[in-house]
Amino acid sequence: MAFKGKYLIIITIVSLMVGSVTAQSYNYANLLDSIKSIRQTTPSSVSSLNISIEKSFQATSLSTVFKEPFWINEEIFGTVVSSPTLTDLNNDGELEIIILTDNNLIYILDKSGNFLPDWGAPYAKSVPELTSKSSIAPCPIPIDITGDEDLEILCATYGGLVYCWFLDGGQVPGFPINLNGSITASPAVGDIDGDSQNEIVIGNWYGELFALEKNGSICPGFPFKTNNSENIMGAPAIGNLDSDIAEEIVFGAYDRNTYVLKGNGSLLPGWPQTANDNIKSSPALIDFDNDGTKEIMIGSWDKKLYLFNANGSQYNHWPWTSASSITNSPVISDINLDGYYDA
């Protein structure tokens, strides 16, 4: 997804689609002005793809979320600097779109490109230090943080603040929170302490991983610090790796390590595991072999895609070596329909 002029297009690649698509990036909004080729075809398993759109581009061979590309209201300014977030925010049965621009504005649009009423004045919410013009911005996260079954919007900023808003634009009590370090990765949400309430997990540029309660307070045992305070650029993943009632936190860092933490901030036995170079990728948690236990997949700048068991041991015949550094998150799907996941 990207802007060229004022066009917004969101494209979904159909599973097992025949053919290839010219693209710049699989996982992040493209900041370039035109489509540029890459030297490989799009994997048939890719479920979504971010591309930069020329005005003359026709998406006739693709499945689109919207029937037609639509013209964005001229009141939108700036370049989109994160992947869009699509969710039904107002319970009307239709998806809304949340986008961030490089002039520190957050917009919410309906499926026709109209601005959502009451969100911001006049059309967008201005947030100081929301983004950096040299960086991809964290994606906003829809979350029912108040427990009222209505979604709020959680967003971290390059300036180190974490905001949470009601749909009418009002601040959720306890927010914003200052984490004292630039944030370039999206937050993750999950129940890390087994209390049936979601916590917010987010890392910053100074190698600190925070876990926050829904009222904005920092959870006991956090922040956790990486070796030498090396930065955390990828979003964490949250999932149950040891079959207890609480979920674990998985993330990589520039110190070459992949970490797995319990909800009290302590390391799970067998972790961290160290790659040969730094890690920008976000991990994926998946039961790769259908044994009832999730494995951890993560890429590294050392050109390797790692697959770990929950105890920290490497999966048989892994890591897989790529022709270039791996900085994006892995895409996992059953490509050949044999009942097992492929990456």
Query: What is the number of domains present in the chain?
Result: 1
Question: 207 falls in which pLDDT band (50, 70, 90)?
Answer: very high
Range of the structural domain that residue 47 is part of: 1-71
Is pLDDT above 80 for 50?
A: no
> How many angstroms separate the CA atoms of 167 and 150, rounded?
9
On whether residue 61 sits in a domain, the answer given is yes
Token reading at 76: 């939108």
Which residue, 135, 110, 106, 138, is CA-closest to 123? 106
On whether residue 63 sits in a domain, the answer given is yes
On whether residue 38 sits in a domain, the answer given is yes
> How many angstroms separate the CA atoms of 299 and 281, rounded?
6
Give the CA count within 13 Å in the CB-facing half-sphere of 272: 20
Q: What's the longest Cα–Cα distance across the chain?
A: 56
On whether residue 235 sits in a domain, the answer given is no
On whether residue 6 sits in a domain, the answer given is yes
Go through 266-280 and write b for each residue having 16 or more CB atoms within 10 A of its CB, e for each that does not.
eebeebbbebeebbb
> How many angstroms separate the CA atoms of 175 and 155, rounded?
11
pLDDT score for 270: 97
Distance, C-alpha 173 to centroid of its chain: 24
On whether residue 290 sits in a domain, the answer given is no
Question: 20 falls in which pLDDT band (50, 70, 90)?
Answer: very low
- The continuous run of DSSP H or E covering 304 comes out as strand 304-308
Q: pLDDT tens digit string along 270-305? A: 999 999 999 999 999 988 888 888 999 999 999 999
Contact between residue 169 and residue 125 where contact means Cβ atoms under 8 Å apart: yes
Q: pLDDT tens digit string along 299-334? A: 999 999 999 999 999 998 899 999 999 888 887 777
Question: 68 falls in which pLDDT band (50, 70, 90)?
Answer: very low
On whether residue 13 sits in a domain, the answer given is yes
On whether residue 220 sits in a domain, the answer given is no
Cis peptide before 272 (omega within 30 of 0): yes
Q: pLDDT tens digit string along 252-262? A: 999 999 999 99
Which residue, 129, 12, 117, is CA-closest to 81? 129
Q: What is the CA radius of gyration of the chain?
A: 20
Name residue 318's amino acid. W
pLDDT score for 41: 36
Residues 6+ apart with CB under 8 A from 96: 86, 87, 88, 89, 90, 108, 109, 110, 111, 116
> How many angstroms separate the CA atoms of 120 and 330, rounded?
35
Strands of the 85-87 sheet, one edge to the other: 85-87, 96-101, 105-109, 124-126
